[in-house]
Amino acid sequence: MIYFDNAATTPVLPEVKNFLCKALDIYGNPSSVHTLGKFARSEIETARKTIANYLKVKPENIIFNSCATEGNNTIIRTILNNKDRGNVVLSAIEHKSVKEAIKFWANKSIEIREIKVNKNGVIDLEHLYHLIDSNTILVCVMYVSNEFGTIQPIQEIAKICSDKGVPLLTDAVQAIGKIPIELKNISYATFSGHKFHAIKGSGFLYISDEANYEPLIVGGGQENGKRSGTENVVGILSLAKALEIIVSNFSRYQEQLKKLRDLFENLLLEALPDAQIVGKDAERSPSISSVIMPKFFGAEIVNKLSEKGIYCSTGSACLSGEYEPNKHMLKMGFSQEKALRMVRFSFGLLNKEEEVIECIERIKEIYRLN
């Protein structure tokens, strides 16, 4: 089995698994005043400090939750709740958890404005500048594209938003553990643990000191009243442990991912010269390679590789037996035909070069090149 779908979710690191076997014994309720509760609370606060140190922010700016989707909904609801006018600006290729949350929480009078992107998936900064006006209440741009690996010029975006006095929300799910993160001038950032080798159901939200905030979940008053519900102690500890491991070897891991991606792309283009790497002319995450494959629909390639025990993904969905093109590629200016042929291969810390070579051999079989 070869797993190249790490942008969807990552396997838990072996070191994290071993750590969590012991963490399962921390079963006290962190809100309890007895010794077991106090110990659980202490472990949570230590994890919060670990994450805050990594992001170079204060521990009180970190709120634990279940995932980035919850974080995105929380912030979008905070900004849009009871607003009867204004506009929200977001990238044309923004994650569905942001787009759908805006549609769900926005009053019908709220205008939604999309920032143009180029063929690499990078937003047009000048267009962003002109879209923001005195009625703009929120800007949303993901740090790294989950589909193409494109890294947005987030600090330039943040500067524009700061200068215009508008809060910026960035979904940083595909950035954490892959590239250095800078949160200066960013109001909100959301993260999911299962995207960086921690466990599912664990995530956190960064909120700047100046940013407005209303809890999505109320009741018990946990997380200083910002996110009620008994804390997922094991999940929270997995976040800190995975980050601790990655940060301690960050340069090596980053180089490891880039080496895998570059080997994959070089071998693939050697075998299939008509293939096209999406976003190749932009700064990209070292872990994602999205390819326009010749001859076959992307979903066909995914299915054929899956039959051979190799797992990747596509931005094209099959509905009622009909394939649909990747909508974000259409926004980027690609033809419908090319948008139907995209396949995403995404690499993680547990992948090896031999797996890349094996994958290319299986792709050659599909194209009968062997």
Q: What is the mean pLDDT of the segment spanning 10-38? A: 94
**Which tokens in the block code for residue 337?**
């035909």
User: What is the structure's pLDDT at 318?
Assistant: 47
> CATH fold of 2-10+250-366, please?
Aspartate Aminotransferase, domain 1 (3.90.1150)
pLDDT above 80 (res 369): no
Nearest in space to 211 (alpha carbons), one of 49, 76, 115: 76
Query: pLDDT tens digit string along 48-98?
Result: 999 999 999 999 999 999 999 999 999 999 999 978 899 999 999 999 999
Let me know the angle formed at the C-alpha of 152 by 150 and 155, rounded to the nearest 5 degrees. 155
Q: Which of 21, 67, 318, 359 is catalytic?
A: 318
Chain position carrying tokens 């609370």? 41
Radius of gyration for the alpha carbons in the chain, expressed in angstroms and rounded? 21
Query: What stretches of 132-184 show up as alpha helix (H) in DSSP?
Result: 154-164
How far apart are the C-alpha atoms of 260 and 175, rounded to whole Å? 17
**Domain boundaries of the chain, sorted by first residue:** 2-10+250-366, 14-248
Confidence (pTM) = 0.95
Query: pLDDT tens digit string along 213-265?
Result: 999 999 999 999 999 999 999 999 999 999 999 999 999 999 999 999 999 99
Three-state secondary-structure class, residue 286:
coil
pLDDT above 60 (res 321): no
Structural contact between residues 189 and 183, judged by C-beta atoms closer than 8 angstroms: yes
- 161 part of the active site: no
* CATH of the domain spanning 14-248: 3.40.640.10
How far apart are the C-alpha atoms of 85 and 107, rounded to whole Å? 8
Let me know the angle formed at the C-alpha of 184 by 172 and 143, rounded to the nearest 5 degrees. 20
Query: pLDDT tens digit string along 149-168?
Result: 999 999 999 999 999 999 99
Cβ contacts of residue 321 below 8 Å, gap of 6+?
none
How far apart are the C-alpha atoms of 170 and 142, rounded to whole Å? 5
**Which tokens in the block code for residue 62?**
């970190």
Q: What is the mean pLDDT of the segment spanning 349-366? A: 97
